[in-house]
C-alpha cells in the first residue's frame, strides 16, 4: 500500500461526511423508522455511552475512507469524480448493501431496516468517492 499518494485532508473530510450523512439519515430522514424497527425508545438511546459509540464510529469511518482512498489511487491512477462516485456506489451497493441483505435474511430483520442501514452506506460511499476525487 502506497500511503504517499493519500490526501489526508480529503480522508478526514470524507470521514466527517459520514457523521453529516448519518446525522441526517438516522435523524430527520429515517430516525423514527429506524428506532421503531430496532425497538429502541428515545430514553434508551440517551442512556448509551455516546463517547464510545461516536469515537469508535469515527475510527471505523476513517478506516473506510482511507481504504477507499487507497483503492481509488491504486496503481498511481488519478480517477475522475464520476469514477470516484461510481466506485463508491458499487462498493456500497454490491459489497455492503447486498452483504447486509444476506445478513438481514438470516437475522429475520425487516426489509425496511435493511434498506435504512444498508443504503446509508451506499450514499455515504458514493459521497466519499466524490470527496476523495474532488480534493
Residues 6+ apart with CB under 8 A from 64: 15, 18, 125, 128
Q: What is the pLDDT of residue 103?
A: 97
Q: What is the pLDDT of residue 1?
A: 67
Query: For residues 26 and 81, what is the distance between their CA atoms, to the nearest angstrom?
Result: 27
Helix axes 50-72, 111-134, angle to 10 degrees: 60
Q: What is the pLDDT of residue 92?
A: 98
CB 68 within 8 A of CB 129: yes
Three-state DSSP state, 108: coil
Query: For residues 63 and 45, what is the distance between their CA atoms, to the nearest angstrom?
Result: 25
Under-50 pLDDT residues of the chain:
none
Q: What is the pLDDT of residue 104?
A: 97
Amino acid at each position: 500500500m502506497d500511503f504517499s499518494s493519500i490526501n489526508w485532508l480529503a480522508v478526514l473530510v470524507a470521514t466527517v461526511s459520514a457523521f453529516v450523512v448519518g446525522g441526517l439519515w438516522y435523524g430527520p430522514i429515517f430516525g423514527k423508522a429506524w428506532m421503531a424497527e430496532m425497538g429502541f425508545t428515545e430514553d434508551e438511546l440517551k442512556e448509551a455511552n455516546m463517547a464510545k459509540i461516536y469515537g469508535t464510529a469515527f475510527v471505523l469511518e476513517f478506516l473506510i475512507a482511507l481504504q477507499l482512498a487507497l483503492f481509488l489511487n491504486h496503481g498511481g491512477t488519478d480517477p475522475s469524480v464520476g469514477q470516484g462516485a461510481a466506485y463508491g456506489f458499487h462498493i456500497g451497493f454490491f459489497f455492503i448493501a447486498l452483504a447486509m441483505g444476506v445478513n438481514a435474511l438470516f437475522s429475520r430483520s425487516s426489509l425496511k431496516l435493511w434498506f435504512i442501514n444498508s443504503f446509508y452506506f451506499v450514499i455515504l460511499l458514493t459521497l466519499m468517492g466524490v470527496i476523495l476525487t474532488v480534493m
